[in-house]
Amino acid sequence: MADFLSGMRVSASGMAAQRTRMNTISSNIANINTIQTPEGGPYRRKDVIFEAIPDARSFGEIIMSSDPRSDVQRVQVTDVVSDQKAPLLKYEPNSPYANEDGYVAYPNINHMEEMANMIMATRLYEANVSAMQASKEMANSALELGR
């Protein structure tokens, strides 16, 4: 049963990571025209940083496992970083946010890139759901053998 739980933990970590990524992408799309933030200046595109970490296992699982040196790794979000690209400048001399040359700074966010990232995050989330479902079905099948 320990190996089934390990697989489920790995899949759950992938789902949580992709959910964080989806929230970040949604924030980027929602703020695509935000020219003023509390920090000053236009919104900065955010990106999620992932890290592979060893699967945390309980003492009982280590004792029951046939291979205690298993290199199963989960994923975790380690940081959400702001993009440091220069903002896009648009000529809008009548805007109260225009600089002395008449340009307004807009976030440097590519809508198509964000949509592609959203599709990828959705597909990866679905893949983790499928892997978790498969682990659950394998565990149920193993339990049925005992009947």
Give backbone dihedrals phi and psi of 5, rounded to 5 degrees, phi first: -65, -35
Reply yes or no on whether the pLDDT at 86 is more than 70.
Answer: yes
What are 90's strand-pairing partners? 104
- pLDDT score for 62: 52
Per-residue pLDDT tens digits for 99-147:
999 999 999 999 999 999 999 999 999 999 999 999 888 888 888 887 7
- Residue pointed to by tokens 């994923």: 75
- pLDDT score for 76: 92
Per-residue pLDDT tens digits for 18-53:
999 999 999 999 999 999 999 889 999 999 999 998
SS3 of 35-53: the string is CCCCCCCCCCCEEEEEEEE
In angstroms, the CA 82 to CA 39 distance is: 12
- The pTM score is 0.81
What is the DSSP secondary structure assignment for residue 87, as one 8-state letter?
P
Q: Nearest Cα to 6, choosing from 70, 90, 99?
A: 70
Tokens of 93: 């001399």
